[in-house]
């Protein structure tokens, strides 16, 4: 299910922040426990023990979602697609290549392109060479190419791709105009009858509205279960499936 290679951690500082908060919370719990000034210090000690556990579980869920959950989810989503010889696939914000490589493995008849700006804050060890190394490890080199570029201004002609995927990348564009431009660009390079699959932790309603405005038929946002909980159900990824 998970291709060979190293795919990093998405926004790698987040789980460490949760571990840091858990450590502070544990220290406060111990302080209240040792204070022993009455029932209320005992109650507060237990409250901070509970907070510590929640933060530790949150960090664990985040690492799970990034290292395993994301791959299980895309494995499920990619099964829905059917591609023929000559079909072209574009992965927006491909990072170290996870979804692009999974697509190229599942559909040997298709050619896949991943585009990214390779921001290291968005994925640890993010680089074109890391994506290419993962591609080589999976033996699909000639069917998968990477381009350095911005998904708000795609360097491809109109109607080029049959399938466009975006995994946890669109929310990294920080302005609504930028996200709208990325969706418009995706639709511009999508062939008639083509499909867009998006997984994201934020703003999938916004993407759905723009896709609908541009004339696509959209299913979702649909929740993806606990494996997509980036710390907890309050940060659950959802998917969109849109057909032109």
> Which residues in this chain contact ligand SAM in the complex, by CB under 6 A?
7, 10, 70, 93-95, 98-99, 115-119, 122-123, 126, 150-152, 167-169, 172-173
Q: Give the whole-angstrom CA distance, residue 210 versus residue 233.
A: 25
Name the minimum Å distance from CB 149 to ligand SAM: 7
Contact by Cβ (8 Å): 180, 211: no
DSSP-derived 3-state class of residue 116: strand
* Comparison of 25 and 169: residue with beta carbon closer to ligand SAM: 169
* Comparison of 8 and 48: residue with beta carbon closer to ligand SAM: 8
* Comparison of 167 and 231: residue with beta carbon closer to ligand SAM: 167
* Comparison of 52 and 171: residue with beta carbon closer to ligand SAM: 171
Q: Give the whole-angstrom CA distance, residue 99 versus residue 237.
A: 15
Sequence-separated (6 or more) residues with CB below 8 Å from residue 177: none
Name the minimum Å distance from CB 182 to ligand SAM: 7
> In sequence order, what DSSP letters do the residues of 55-66 get, joined into one string?
HHHHHHHHHHII
* Comparison of 25 and 98: residue with beta carbon closer to ligand SAM: 98
Name the minimum Å distance from CB 184 to ligand SAM: 13
Q: What are 46's two structure tokens?
A: 């237990």
E-strand ranges in the chain read 88-92, 111-116, 144-148, 161-167, 190-200, 217-223, 238-243
Q: Give the whole-angstrom CA distance, residue 118 versus residue 14.
A: 18
Name the minimum Å distance from CB 75 to ligand SAM: 13
Name the minimum Å distance from CB 92 to ligand SAM: 7
Name the minimum Å distance from CB 142 to ligand SAM: 22
Contact by Cβ (8 Å): 8, 130: yes
Neighbour tally for 42: CB within 10 Å = 14
* Comparison of 7 and 32: residue with beta carbon closer to ligand SAM: 7
E-strand ranges in 111-216 read 111-116, 144-148, 161-167, 190-200
* Comparison of 44 and 67: residue with beta carbon closer to ligand SAM: 67
Name the minimum Å distance from CB 97 to ligand SAM: 8
């Amino acid at each position: 299910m998970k291709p060979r290679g190293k795919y990093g951690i998405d926004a790698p500082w987040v789980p460490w922040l949760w571990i840091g908060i858990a450590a502070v919370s544990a220290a406060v719990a111990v302080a209240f426990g040792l204070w022993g000034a009455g029932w209320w210090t005992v109650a507060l000690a237990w409250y901070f023990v509970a907070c510590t556990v929640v933060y530790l579980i949150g960090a664990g869920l985040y690492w799970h979602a990034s290292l395993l959950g994301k791959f299980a989810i895309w494995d499920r989503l990619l099964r829905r697609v059917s591609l023929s010889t000559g079909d072209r696939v574009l992965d927006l914000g491909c990072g170290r290549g996870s979804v692009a490589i999974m697509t190229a493995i599942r559909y040997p008849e298709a050619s896949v392109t991943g585009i990214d700006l390779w921001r290291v804050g968005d994925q640890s060890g993010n680089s074109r060479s890391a994506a290419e190394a993962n591609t080589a490890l999976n033996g699909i080199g000639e069917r998968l190419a990477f381009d350095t570029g911005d998904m708000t201004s795609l360097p491809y002609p109109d109607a080029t791709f049959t399938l466009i995927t975006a995994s946890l990348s669109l929310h990294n564009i920080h302005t609504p105009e930028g996200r709208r431009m990325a969706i418009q660009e995706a639709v511009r390079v999508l062939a008639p009858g083509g499909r867009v699959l998006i997984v994201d932790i934020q703003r999938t309603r916004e993407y759905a509205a723009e896709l609908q405005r541009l004339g696509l038929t959209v299913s979702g946002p649909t929740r993806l279960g606990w494996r997509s909980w980036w710390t907890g159900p309050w940060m659950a990824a959802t998917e969109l499936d849109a057909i032109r």
